Structure 1
């Protein structure tokens, strides 16, 4: 390979940002495929009959194979770097290319509606002559499940990152010849012990 060919080859090598973008795109596509199946299962749980003859386990295996093919040309050190940044909550989703347009989930609206409903019932109870302690008890009783949901909503993003981390961790471990364990802790300090050497870099270095 002459000097001109070498220059052309290295100029065509993808940048770290481009490789991060590829990983993020594959994660989002995997998430979308899995979400489609989960929505069918959730509706089926409520008694709706939906024709779905495909084997669920086989579907998820195929989705995993599609993800693996999508990142097969990403170097191991880039995958490790991405995983480390994924578990660092100071690195935002935009830098990891996994941000979605819908920032507010349906769970948030459902929890908000439930809390307002509980408050309305409590005020209505007072207006029709119920004692204040009774109205307060009714309000709290109705609000507790929605309050718990409200408390859990901010953790959706964390849970999402953990799902992505498990997927990436499995790919990294398989490339290293192992099968686990999966990464479950979002703390950056926990991640450092998983790798034999420091990762390639941080998303903060990508411009």
Structure 2
């Protein structure tokens, strides 16, 4: 167990080109984003100034450049959530399990009606209508993890904007949308490239 932990720590360090400081800062950012997300969920998205103040204070000693690099990695689909020290969406597997169960139940109802003497067309129609909502949920469930990363990126964008003289409350939609584009158009690079870039500047 200890050996595996050592290997994981070495892998983490290798991903950042040996930048121990940057590795630690990425962990802090990831932990604070997770904490903020948990607080926001518990309050059903209601913004609490104290929570935002605690979030800003926790990131106070992390440079804007590192926050920007982390945000770029959030928007890069080639960078996994584990590399950013955040969890994959916790609800995705629950939704997928529910979807599979719903589709299986719809098929069972259709087959049951057919075996009871109902026409094939009627049984198929009923099964299709019952399964359709679950199929739609199946289509959108995997995107929840992406939406979660976009939400994290938006929070960091607000903090970066605040540090650059903005209010930190609203970020222009055009700027935010342009930053989200890499998630649908994969880019080259990631945390290693960001690390090397920052390491050279440091």
- Category of TM-score, reference length = shorter chain: 0.7 to 0.9
Corresponding position of 1:187: 181
Corresponding position of 1:9: none
Q: What is the TM-score with the length of structure 2 in the denominator?
A: 0.74
CA distance in structure 2 between the aligned counterparts of 1:14 and 1:26, rounded to whole angstroms: 19
Aligned length: 167
CA RMSD of aligned residues (A): 2.6
Corresponding position of 1:51: none
Show the 5 A alignment for 1:2-81. Answer: 15-38=21-44, 56-57=46-47, 60-81=48-69
Larger radius of gyration: 1
CA distance in structure 2 between the aligned counterparts of 1:87 and 1:17, rounded to whole angstroms: 18
**Alpha-carbon offset, residue 110 of structure 1:** 1.5
Residues 159-185 of structure 1, C-alpha deviation per residue, up to 9 Å, x if partnerless? 000110110000001111124225245
Q: Which moved more, 1:141-150 or 1:106-115?
A: 106-115
**Alpha-carbon offset, residue 186 of structure 1:** 2.7
CA distance in structure 1 between the aligned counterparts of 2:183 and 2:107, rounded to whole angstroms: 43
CA spacing shift, 1:115–1:186, aligned 2, 3 Å: same
Q: 1:173 aligns with which of 161, 176, 184?
A: 161
SS of residue matched to 1:187: helix
Contact 2:78 2:190 in 1 (8 A): no
Contact 1:88 1:187 in 2 (8 A): no
Q: Higher helix fraction: Structure 1 or Structure 2? A: 2
Contact 2:30 2:85 in 1 (8 A): yes
In structure 2, runs of 5+ residues without a counterpart are: 1-18, 197-202
Displacement over 4 Å in runs of 4+: 100-104
Corresponding position of 2:109: 121
CA distance in structure 2 between the aligned counterparts of 1:103 and 1:36, rounded to whole angstroms: 15
CA distance in structure 2 between the aligned counterparts of 1:65 and 1:174, rounded to whole angstroms: 12
